[in-house]
Amino acid sequence: MNLWKKQINLLKSGDIKTLARCISQVENEVDGYEELLEHLPTLNTPIIGITGPPGAGKSTLTDALIEPMIKEGKKVAVLCIDPSSPFNLGALLGDRIRMSNWYNNPNVFIRSLATRGSLGGLHPKIIEITDLIKAAHFDYIIIETVGVGQSEIEIAGLADTTVVVVVPEAGDEIQNMKSGLMEVANLFVVNKSDRPGADVFAKNLRLMLAPAFHRQETPVPVIKTIALQKQGIDELFAAIKQDLEHHNVNLKRFWLLAEKAYYLIQRKRMADINKEELKDKIEAAGNDFNLYKFIKDYTK
């Protein structure tokens, strides 16, 4: 049996060790990983994106959100996108101590991934990795992003429901949001809502998100939580399920896939281009070198 066939059969059976190995194969572009991806089944496992500014409590919220899912008998996969180490491109926060309660639960799979320099706050192979997880028949996939502020809108293209987490002290930051996080959110969470000013902040946020002000048919829900004490988590999970039931086709996903397709096609077509060889040819041309004529001749 071909290796990819065996791996896919093991994935379908929910073999966690195979899933972990396959993710590593894709991350490191091990020989044969593309053939594996080409034969993955197409499944529509819902993806929940957890995003927002640093310090909002996204990891604690994600940890708390796993509990009501498990109580319903669901299988949950969590991808934690962490900042990259400048030395080895690995995840700096890879241990994820706050989620340690779930590591031995057979219905929970947690994997830390490094951004590896990706500016969108996600892993460069996040689409491939989520497709691998879908093949393993999980009920939910949670993606917690690195939290780089307004530039972190790439998650909206990947997630079926995007949860933006903020804290009461983010008043000035919310006022300055023009697009970015304000437009990608399906749900807003005001975490650490036991802090002073939380009620006023949540009220002002609801006003800013009202249909009359924000050009949408229905208001974006704003839910107050204290993730550390697991308060408001059941309400949040109920709102996520409701949004998943009623969400429309995610047009942003098509753009994300188009960008990914463009990148992969570009990389394949450039596979036989060697920079050192280019340098040698340019050097050999001497003073007669013309960049534009060189490119035209080289690409004939």
pLDDT in tens, the chain (300 residues): 577 889 999 999 999 999 999 999 999 989 889 899 999 998 889 999 998 888 889 999 999 999 999 999 999 999 988 764 433 444 444 444 556 678 789 999 999 887 655 545 577 788 899 999 999 999 999 999 876 554 456 787 888 999 999 998 866 666 555 455 667 788 999 999 999 989 998 998 888 877 645 556 678 899 999 999 999 999 999 999 999 988 666 677 788 788 888 888 888 888 888 889 999 999 998 888 899 888 888 887
Number of H helices, E strands in the chain: 14, 7
Query: Who contacts 266 (Cβ-Cβ below 8 Å, separation ≥6)?
Result: none
Asked if residue 48 lies in contact with residue 161, where contact means CB atoms within 8 angstroms, the answer is yes
Query: Who contacts 106 (Cβ-Cβ below 8 Å, separation ≥6)?
Result: 16
Pairing mode, strands 76-82 and 140-144: parallel
According to the model, what pLDDT value does residue 17 have?
94
- What CA–CA distance (Å, rounded) separates 174 from 41? 41
Query: Tokens 């999980």 sit at which residue?
Result: 138
According to the model, what pLDDT value does residue 214 have?
52
80 bridge partner residues? 112, 144
Taking each helix axis as running N to C, give the angle between helix 58-71 and helix 233-246, from 0 to 180 degrees, rounded to the nearest 10: 80
- What CA–CA distance (Å, rounded) separates 136 from 126? 16
Q: What residue spans of the chain are helical by DSSP H?
A: 3-12, 16-27, 33-38, 58-71, 126-135, 155-158, 171-176, 181-184, 198-208, 211-214, 233-246, 251-269, 275-285, 291-298
According to the model, what pLDDT value does residue 91 have?
44
In the sheet with 222-224, reading across from the earlier edge strand, the strands are 108-114, 76-82, 140-144, 47-51, 161-166, 187-190, 222-224
Q: Report the 10 Å Cβ neighbour count for 175.
A: 9
Indicate the CATH number for domain 42-252: 3.40.50.300
What are the domain boundaries of the chain? Answer: 1-40, 42-252, 257-298
Q: How far is CA 59 from the centre of its chain?
A: 14
Whole-angstrom CA distances from 68 to 166, 221, 235 are 21, 19, 10
pTM above 0.75, yes or no: yes
